[in-house]
Amino acid sequence: MQINPGGLLNTNDMVGRDNEIARYWQVLKRQGLVISAERRIGKTHIVLKMRDECRSGYVPFYQDLEAVHSIPELIRSIYDTVQQSSSALPSVKLKAYIAKWSSLLPSKISGVDLPTGDSTWQVLLAEAFDDLMGMANNRIILLLWDEFPLMLHNLQRREGPDAAIQLLDHLRALRLRHANRLRFLFTGSIGLHLVLRSLCAAGNTNDPVNDMLSLTVPPMAPQDTTDLAAALLEETRAARPHIPDLASRIASEVGGFPYYVHHVVDQLDQLQRPPLLEDVSAAVDKLVYDPQDPANFNYYVNRLSSYYAAYAADEGALALVVLDTMAGLSSPVPIPDLLNLCRHRDPSLQDEALREVLTVLAEDHYIEPRKSAAGTAYDFRWQLVKRWWKARRS
């Protein structure tokens, strides 16, 4: 297995996630699915594995929508994805399908010229899905849309909230129209909830994904995390008898986050000698304190101003106050205590504003609620992120 922090892995090299994938297929039997989690926890690899090892009766199409900024670009992306998967579809029907795309830029795919025209995107999208249904031979079309929330965010910024709302409503109508033959799986790192809150603030009162189930990708199981670390350590100079202890130490230091496991083993590999147990802690410290920020922890800070401000101008600043305060605490903190501590930083802070930002931060996987004797208490979801936050900001 290759040490590859942040890179795309072969799905055959994935460790664990079998339980999660089985759960997602169970849901897709009956409805669409929205899966969310923080960046680099492995969402993309999960959906790629589902595509590569697709269940019988489905025709999967994976699309990375990060670079899509408009609805015509989305339609083009669907078209290109279907064309690239043409081996799984009847060629005669595929050519007929291509000929019906009447408002895309002139192009030639598989020897077929695309005409131009003035059809609206709603018509194009509806016809595209009608054609997909006709080509799938009674199988279920499964669209795996990675970074769908980011695409909506980009669409909202470029074309306004009405365009994003119309697209969501139209996709919902298509799901209902093809309820037995069409499934969507949306995933992304910014969280669909943030985009929907922003659209709500712009006046949208609909719930355009209430027909889909929303699930959070959990951390890797402890044993899977240890197994991943052990497999990666095999690629280093680690002495074989020491690998189990090294792997256990890595798992306990970083938790079930595969991205950080890869980073720690990468640091150990750079030692140019067999790593020792104390080297694991030193490698983690390097990730936390290195000014070059090799694990890109700064992303957790920067995204607050990028995405939270779309809902409320001061929400990103309030989120920083909460996280800066929480990072300096050694244990989960109940809401009343957190409110008092945050007021030392911002005396104007109101109870309801704190509760609202706690809800958003929990939905966004920065923090998680825990049961305590004093009621609900909160702490960072990832202790490694908390260590970095404390070192840099508290």
Q: Is the CA virtual torsion 217, 60, 163, 305 positive or negative? A: positive
Which of 73-82, 119-128, 265-274 bottoms out in mean pLDDT, i.e. has the lowest? 119-128
Output the pLDDT for position 73.
81
Domain boundary among 179, 201, 216: 216
Half-sphere exposure of 241 (CA within 13 A, CB side): 0
Whether residue 2 lies inside any domain: the answer is no
- Provide the pLDDT confidence category of residue 93 given band limits of 50, 70 and 90: low
CATH of the domain at 373: 1.10.10.10
Q: What is the pLDDT of residues 20-76, one digit of tens each?
A: 999 999 999 999 999 988 888 888 899 999 999 999 999 899 999 988 888 878 877
| 195 and 235 part of one domain | no
**pTM for this one?**
0.85
| 248 and 314 part of one domain | no
| 322 and 269 part of one domain | no
d(CA 265, CA 21): 26
Whether residue 190 lies inside any domain: the answer is yes
Q: Is the pLDDT of residue 229 over 60?
A: yes
Whether residue 361 lies inside any domain: the answer is yes
| 73 and 118 part of one domain | yes
d(CA 355, CA 307): 19
Output the pLDDT for position 20.
94
Give the Cβ contact number of residue 307 at 10 Å. 22
- Provide the pLDDT confidence category of residue 90 given band limits of 50, 70 and 90: low
| 181 and 40 part of one domain | yes
Number of domains in the chain: 3
CATH of the domain at 105: 3.40.50.300
Whether residue 97 lies inside any domain: the answer is yes
| 197 and 235 part of one domain | no
- Provide the pLDDT confidence category of residue 98 given band limits of 50, 70 and 90: low
Whether residue 119 lies inside any domain: the answer is yes
Range of the domain at 339: 310-393
Residues 6+ apart with CB under 8 A from 149: 186, 188, 189, 190, 191, 192, 194, 195
| 32 and 132 part of one domain | yes
| 379 and 233 part of one domain | no
What percent of the chain is predicted at pLDDT more than 90?
48
Q: Is the pLDDT of residue 173 over 80?
A: yes
Q: What is the pLDDT of residues 252-300, one digit of tens each?
A: 999 899 999 999 999 999 998 999 999 999 999 999 999 999 999 999 9
| 227 and 165 part of one domain | no
* Average pLDDT value for residue range 355-374: 89
**Maximum CA pair distance of the chain?**
69
C-alpha dihedral over 93, 176, 18, 139, to 10 degrees? -30
Whether residue 302 lies inside any domain: the answer is no
* Average pLDDT value for residue range 131-148: 85
Q: What is the pLDDT of residues 151-172, one digit of tens each?
A: 988 888 888 888 888 899 999 9
| 175 and 228 part of one domain | no
- Provide the pLDDT confidence category of residue 198 given band limits of 50, 70 and 90: confident
